[in-house]
Amino acid sequence: MKDKVKLLDKDSLNRCLVRIAHEILEKNKGSEDLCLVGIRNRGAYLARRLVDCIENIDKQRIPVGILDITLYRDDLSLIAAQPVVHKTEIDFDITDKNVVLVDDVLYTGRTVRAALDALIDLGRPKSIQLAVLVDRGHRELPIRADYVGKNIPTSVDEAVEVRLIEADSKDEVVIVTKD
């Protein structure tokens, strides 16, 4: 794997999040009944940052949770490396809430499909919206994002890596080539 193109650096990544935070507030007409749920691992970090951004704008702290979708995947037996099951940590009731699902990269849509099933097992939200930092195309399911940080046309031979300080010691988004 080799870094090919840097798509976002620390500042541009941050600007994307601030813009998404504004869009979420605009679409939901404020932060009432709003909550964020991040998909492990990087989606969870992004969700926490978005909650901070929303607090800066709206002066309201909205609830944020973490979703682990391992048990809902449709490819459990296909992946070579066994996924480790982590906890789902959503300590508020999502019923009748507007839930914004947060993930780092939207690709085939299968992760989001699993996350929708996982969420609906936890309650009946008023709505579920989807925020992603990067949409790289190549969908295999009829799923689209409501909030996108950056649309990036990619080839299937490439991978998009979102690196965040919480896990990777720096903030950046890069395209890497498999070789």
Partner 1 sequence: MVWARKDLLGLEDLNKEEIELILATAESFKEVSSREIKKVPALRGKTVVNLFYEPSTRTRVSFEVAAKRLSADVINIAAQESSVRKGETLIDTGRNIEALKADIIVIRHNASGAATMLARRVGICVVNAGDGWHEHPTQALLDIFTLKERLGRIEGLNVAIVGDIAHSRVARSNIWGLTKLGAKVTICAPAMLIPPGIEEMGCKITYNIDDALRHADAVNVLRMQFERDEGNAFPQQLEYFKNFGITKERLEKAKKDIIIMHPGPINRGIEISSEVADCSNSVILEQVTNGIAVRMAVLFLVAQGLEKKNEPLN
Question: Could you say whether residue 1 binds partner 1 (CB under 8 A)?
Answer: no
Question: Could you say whether residue 23 binds partner 1 (CB under 8 A)?
Answer: no
Q: Which is nearer to partner 1, 1 or 85 (CB)?
A: 85
Q: Whole-angstrom Cα distance, residue 159 to residue 156?
A: 7
Q: Which is nearer to partner 1, 2 or 87 (CB)?
A: 87
Question: Could you say whether residue 141 binds partner 1 (CB under 8 A)?
Answer: no
Residue with tokens 């932060």: 31
Give the contacts of 138 (CB within 8 A, at least 6 positions apart).
107, 108, 154, 156
Q: How far is the CB of 121 from partner 1 (least distance, A)?
A: 5
Residue 8 CB neighbour total at 10 angstroms: 21
Q: How far is the CB of 124 from partner 1 (least distance, A)?
A: 10
Residue with tokens 């099951």: 85
Q: How far is the CB of 112 from partner 1 (least distance, A)?
A: 16
Choose which of 1, 29, 59, 81 interacts with partner 1 (CB under 8 A): 81
Residues in binding contact with partner 1, number by CB under 8 A:
19
Q: How far is CA 23 from CA 31, 103, 129, 138, 178, in A?
A: 11, 16, 12, 25, 34
Window 85-114: residues binding partner 1 (CB under 8 A): 85-89
